[in-house]
Chain A
Amino acid sequence: LAKTTQPISMDSYEGQEVNITCSHNNIATNDYITWYQQFPSQGPRFIIQGYKTKVTNEVASLFIPADRKSSTLSLPRVSLSDTAVYYCLVQGLGTDKLIFGTGTRLQVFP
């Protein structure tokens, strides 16, 4: 099972771009990467998902290099409301491969 490693915490200021990197060295061929955001006392919320190269949606971008051993979540121009814990998840096609890491606690300052 692919284990993920993320920084425990990051600080940023409003308006800055934030990049959170996740390492997943033993990712399998059929695995893909998903990022979730979680606010205190709430369930995680889906942000973005991808298999390789770059994926972009209205909230974030996800960069995955060719070897797929890491991925980077990019949040453009963060605001105070982006203060949350961000989880990287490597998923297989089966439901038994759902292991969340410890997450990255992002603190955005004014």
Chain B
Amino acid sequence: ETGVTQTPRHLVMGMTNKKSLKCEQHLGHNAMYWYKQSAKKPLELMFVYSLEERVENNSVPSRFSPECPNSSHLFLHLHTLQPEDSALYLCASSQQLAGDMYEQYFGPGTRLTVT
């Protein structure tokens, strides 16, 4: 496997379900990100794990819970979602160097549908 992988690629869940999205990066990077992309809207940064520190967008509801057990793996735990949470969830990684520019490498995304 190369780059950034995400599983599952598609997920349909009910509002009372609990599910998790998984992301794995094979690039040796030290930062990982979760983005949400709704139809016809810009990418919205949800969470960042950088150098073992978590940064989050305060507008993200608590029904989304991230977990980063190590620098290569990132999870997004989902519970009691709403239909408006249906979107493409993208994971990305980057190599953070102090005072330097960086680029993000994105995975293919998980298409989530909440029914």
Contact = CB atoms under 8 A, between A and B. Distances in A.
A43 B48 contact: no
Given A87-B43, A95-B31, A95-B55, A43 B92 contact: yes
Contact of A45 (B88, B99, B102, B106): B106
Contacts of B33: 95, 98
A29 interface: no
Contacts of B55: 95-96
Contact of A32 (B96, B101, B109): B101
A102 interface: yes
A95 B96 contact: yes
Interface residues of B, number: 28
Interface in A73-110: 87, 91, 93, 95-96, 98-103
Given A44-B106, A45-B106, A95-B96, A103 B101 contact: no
A51 B106 contact: no
Contacts of A103: 42
Contacts of B50: 95
Contact of A46 (B43, B100, B104, B107): B104
B38 to A, nearest CB: 12
A44 B101 contact: no
A36 B35 CA distance: 14
Interface of B: 4, 31, 33, 41-45, 48, 50, 55, 88, 90-92, 96, 99-109, 111
Q: What 6 pairs across the A-B complex have the smallest Cβ distances?
A: A43-B106, A100-B43, A46-B103, A95-B48, A100-B42, A95-B50
Interface of A: 32, 34, 36, 41-46, 49, 51, 87, 91, 93, 95-96, 98-103
22 contacts: A36-B104, A42-B106, A42-B108, A43-B90, A43-B92, A43-B106, A43-B109, A44-B43, A44-B90, A44-B104, A45-B106, A46-B105, A49-B103, A51-B101, A87-B43, A91-B101, A95-B31, A95-B50, A96-B55, A98-B45, A98-B48, A99-B45
